[in-house]
Amino acid sequence: MRRPVQFAVALAALLCMAQAAPRTAAPPLGPQQIYGPLFEAVQGQRIFPDGKTFVDAVPRDDPAVIVEAYRRSRPQGDALRDFVLRHFSVPGFQAPQAQGVRDHIRALWPHLTRPALDSPAGSSALALPAPYVVPGGRFREIYYWDSYFTMLGLKADGQQHLIDSMLVDFESLVARYGFIPNGTRTYYLGRSQPPFLVLMVDLASQPDDPRHLAALRAEHAFWMRGGEQAAATGAALRVVRMPDGALLNRYWDDRPGPRDESWAEDVATARDSNRDKADVYRHLRAGAESGWDFSSRWLEDPRRLSTIRTTDIVPVDLNSLLWRLERGIAGRCATAGDQACARRFDSLAQARKVAIDRWLWQPTAGRYADWDRRTQKATGILSAATLFPLFVGLADQRQADAVAQLTKAQLLGQGGLRTSLIASGQQWDSPNGWAPLQWVAIDGLGRTGHAPLAREIARRWIGTVAAAFRETGKMLEKYDVEQRKPGGGGEYPLQDGFGWTNGVTAALLDRWPDLDPDAPVAPAR
């Protein structure tokens, strides 16, 4: 007789619970709603043969984080598949193991890509309208000359959209500030970096777009600002009058004082110099514009940074790049039908070549050299900058042959191209080697009939990068090419990431796949 009573009590309890519970609970979101554009890309491109594969995958991270990583990089094809396998546990598939250098570089691009930036109030960051790739480590913003070498790797890895996107950013900077700053921070707005924009435009999907030409002309105007004053006084801003009246260029910085990002270091250097502090700061800032911060190229005493005198030096790399810029503008003006512009810039390029051959080419030494305004002669520093005229196409065959011979005899180290022959303790000197200088040398030698030497530099450099990668698991900013290990020296710890090392290594392995240290070895016959 108790059972009906117990049943009634239980039923009443269930009814109370049902009345207390919400009548309709929102159903959980499905993969299409959670992953949005990532879902559409994966399914639309049929990354997996079975459409059920992705929707059954389990995320390895917060879905919002994964979606944001996808929005930053927008990988396609195989890169998208690798992205999914890194971020999800996919039934029947394993995440790619990036043991090899080449796979590691491909996997790094999404991590180094940043979305368009609207700078917060009070931030030192400059706004950028389109996604871009940063070098890595402490370098959390876009940098000028780094980006060209990064783009080489993006090109090799089929990331054309990022190359075009970065050009949008650079041309936005030119439109706002009249030039491309060292990096996209307010404290870099006094200086630029080696002018590689014309070479970046050559990598664009539409290199003859009129917007590119407008930016190139604006950049040239920036570097030649002060030309009339220099013609009268000897030097003004970035322009120098040579003894015969020809105009060449130097590095400079429009702002005075110690650098914001290296304030304590600059104050200490000026204090130790027994020179006018304002003068020391100007030379330090100009050295930063060179990208070679710092190098014996700029020092009176190669072992004392306090003897820096960058603005007294007429550098061969800068003037080679400006010759290439003038040639690039002339060609694009001709294509656009602006013959007056084409004639003007062709004339400027011819005049610059004459001046470089007269003042920077050293026939008895068989090298291109920097020129010292104070001593009125070439400096005695042999550096990898001597290869820039070959890289841009300025050197004739006799000059190229002499530079190739000197490079093989003195600049070629066990692990790649030496930056200079002087162990100054500065990072842009021996024993360090740098990815951009390897590319300049390899590409320049290759285009002037010295392909075997170019390949040998590439082989040694790739071996150094691979050895450090096996030891550290990282791509590094610079390397010791004497002992084939991570590099040293400079104002800050060794950085990893690393944009231009990734780019140059990828481009070299794209050119010579057989140099890949991780490629399977063919069985002996």
Is 141 one of the catalytic residues? no
Who's near 290: CB < 8 A, 6+ residues apart? 193, 194, 251, 297, 298, 310, 315, 317, 318
DSSP 387-444: GHHHHHT-S-HHHHHHHHHHIIIIIEETTEE-SBS---SSTTSTTEE-HHHHHHHHHH
Give the span between the Cα atoms of 149 and 166, in whole angstroms: 12
Q: Which tokens belong to 277? A: 């502090």
Give the span between the Cα atoms of 257 and 269, in whole angstroms: 12
Q: Of 141, 266, 293, 480, which residue is the catalytic one?
A: 293
The residue among 514, 495, 377 whose CA lies nearest residue 434 is 495
Q: Which tokens belong to 426? A: 């500065």
Inter-residue contact 180 to 192 (CB < 8 Å):
yes
Give the span between the Cα atoms of 32 and 51, in whole angstroms: 12
Q: Which tokens belong to 396? A: 């004739």
Inter-residue contact 88 to 59 (CB < 8 Å):
yes
Give the span between the Cα atoms of 179 and 222, in whole angstroms: 6
Q: State the amino acid at position 113 in one-letter form.
A: T
If one counts every other C-beta atom within 10 angstroms of the C-beta of residue 161, the result is 15
Q: Of 289, 477, 480, 496, which residue is the catalytic one?
A: 477
Q: Which tokens belong to 252? A: 């400079």
Is 289 one of the catalytic residues? no
Task: Classify the C-alpha dihedral 66-69-70-76 as positive or negative.
Answer: negative
Alpha-carbon Rg of the chain, whole angstroms?
28
Q: Which residues are catalytic?
A: 293, 477
